[in-house]
With several copies, the nearest count.
Chain A
Amino acid sequence: MESGNTSPQIELPAYHGPLDLLLTLIQQEKVDIYDIPIARIADQFVDAVRQMESLDMEVTTEFLVLAAQLLYMKSRDLLPKPANYEEGQVEGEDQRQELVERLLAYRTFKQAAQFLEALETSSGRSYYREVDVDAILVDVQPENPLHGVSFDDLWKSFCRVIERAEKGGEIRYVKPDEISIDVMVADVLRRVLLHPKGMRFNQLMRIGSRMEMVVSFLALLELLKSGKVRAEQPAMLSDIMLFPTKKAWEFTEEE
Chain B
Amino acid sequence: MLFRELETAALEALLFVAKNPLTPELLGEILELGPLEIEELLHKLRARYAADSCGLTLLEINDGFKLGTKPEVSRFIEILYKQPSQALSNAALEVLSIIAYRQPVTRGEVDFIRGVQSDRALATLVEKGIVKEVGRKDGPGRPILYGTTEQFLLHFGLRSLEDLPNLEVGELRVTSLT
What's the least CB distance linking A101 to chain B, in Å? 6
A113 within 8 A of B: yes
Neighbour of B156 across the interface among A120, A132, A133, A161, CB < 8 A: A120
Residue on B nearest A158 in the bound complex, by CB: B97
In the docked arrangement, what's the CA distance between A6 and B142, Å? 50
Q: Are B84 and A108 in contact (CB under 8 A)?
A: no
Q: Are A252 and B155 in contact (CB under 8 A)?
A: no
A251 within 8 A of B: yes
Q: Which of A100-125 contact B (CB under 8 A)?
A: 101-102, 104-106, 108-117, 119-121, 123-125
Neighbour of B98 across the interface among A109, A144, A206, CB < 8 A: A109
- B169 contacts across to A, CB distance below 8 A: 104-105, 108-109, 158, 162, 194-197
Q: Which of A68-116 contact B (CB under 8 A)?
A: 98, 101-102, 104-106, 108-116
- A105 contacts across to B, CB distance below 8 A: 113, 169-170, 172, 174
Q: How many contacting A-B pairs (Cβ < 8 A)?
A: 265
What's the least CB distance linking B91 to chain A, in Å? 5
What's the least CB distance linking A45 to chain B, in Å? 12
Neighbour of B178 across the interface among A120, A199, A206, CB < 8 A: A206
Stretch at the interface among A24-32, A135-143, A217-225: A135-143
Q: Which of B74-114 contact A (CB under 8 A)?
A: 74, 77-78, 81-88, 90-91, 93-94, 96-98, 100-102, 105-109, 112-114
Of listed B66, B107, B109, B117, residue having the most chain A CB within 10 A = B109
- A206 contacts across to B, CB distance below 8 A: 177-178
B17 within 8 A of A: yes
Q: Which of A219-255 contact B (CB under 8 A)?
A: 249-255
Residue on B nearest A124 in the bound complex, by CB: B71
Of listed A104, A128, A196, residue having the most chain B CB within 10 A = A128
What's the least CB distance linking A59 to chain B, in Å? 11
In the docked arrangement, what's the CA distance between A185 and B45, Å? 73
Given contacts A127-B77, A206-B178, contact A101 B172 (CB under 8 A): yes
A7 within 8 A of B: no
In the docked arrangement, what's the CA distance between A17 and B84, Å? 28
For B141-178 the 0/1 string (1 means CB < 8 A from A) is 10100000001101111100000110111111111011
What's the least CB distance linking A99 to chain B, in Å? 10
- A165 contacts across to B, CB distance below 8 A: 113, 115
Neighbour of A126 across the interface among B74, B112, B116, CB < 8 A: B74
Q: A109-B94, A154-B93, A249-B102 are in contact. List 16 more A-B contacts (CB 8 A).
A: A19-B116, A120-B156, A124-B72, A126-B59, A130-B17, A131-B17, A137-B83, A145-B86, A146-B88, A154-B100, A158-B98, A162-B174, A165-B113, A195-B172, A196-B170, A199-B170
Pairs across A and B, CB under 8 Å, 10 listed: A20-B116, A60-B116, A108-B168, A113-B97, A123-B156, A125-B71, A125-B85, A126-B68, A136-B81, A166-B177
